Amino acid sequence: MSVLEVQLSAAAAEPIERVDFEALVQTHQDRVYDFCVRMLGDREEALEVAQEIFVSVHQALPTFRFDSKVSTWIYRISKNHCLNRLKYLERRGRGRSDGLDDVPEEALGSADGAPIRPDDALQAEHERAMVQRAIARLEPDARALVALRDIEGLSYEEMVEITQLPLGTVKSRLHRAREKLAEFLVEEVPEGERA
């Protein structure tokens, strides 16, 4: 249990105002936002949905029973919000505002702040865009599994809690999703350059 979870657990019986919600947001917002970007394929949508997710977390916090990790619980809320948003966007004919084909400023610098060679930056950006396009072609549920396991790095046990699916189902659906993804990634490579 993290320090924050201990703090939250101790405060569970107290009014919600006593919980350091700002610290909770700061601890989890990066992962929530990243997950939303993978799911929605659009930074502006992800920003909007990330805010809605934390509003839901704030509302539901008094009922959280600490029978799972806070992060797992937040991912479950995030997954549900993203799936609902995708359904909504599909109903009204999705319009992307800030697609992921744009290069974010951070992509042009390395993680440790050291300058990186333009060729490397371009290659990394090309790969990122290619992966995101392939992920976007997966069904939303499959997309969530790939994002949770291979991007967010969660364990199968956590995925079971988030998806509320049996372990075997999670594993087999993830396997199918990865196979689909592999197909889509092959299609991303021009025909003459395929191995």
Residue 3 or 195: the one with the smaller Cβ distance to other proteins is 195
Single out the residue of 120, 126, 173 nearest to residue 147, CA to CA: 173
C-beta of residue 77 within 8 angstroms of C-beta of residue 59: no
Q: Which residue, 1 or 141, has its beta carbon nearer to other proteins?
A: 141
* 47 residue type, one letter: L
Q: Which is closer to other proteins, CB of 62 or CB of 104?
A: 104
Q: How far is the CB of 58 from other proteins (least distance, A)?
A: 5
- Applying CB under 8 A, which residues contact other proteins? 21-22, 25-26, 29-30, 33-34, 37-38, 43, 46-47, 50-51, 54-55, 58, 104, 106-107, 111, 124, 127-128, 130-132, 134-135, 146, 150-151, 171, 174-175, 178-179, 181-183, 185-186, 195
Q: What is the CA radius of gyration of the chain?
A: 18
Residue type, 111: A
- Under a CB-based contact definition with an 8 Å cutoff, are residues 77 and 60 in contact? yes
We find the least distance from the C-beta atom of residue 131 to other proteins, in angstroms, to be 5
Q: Give least dist CB 96 to other proteins, A.
A: 15
Contact call for residues 56 and 14 (beta carbons, < 8 A): no
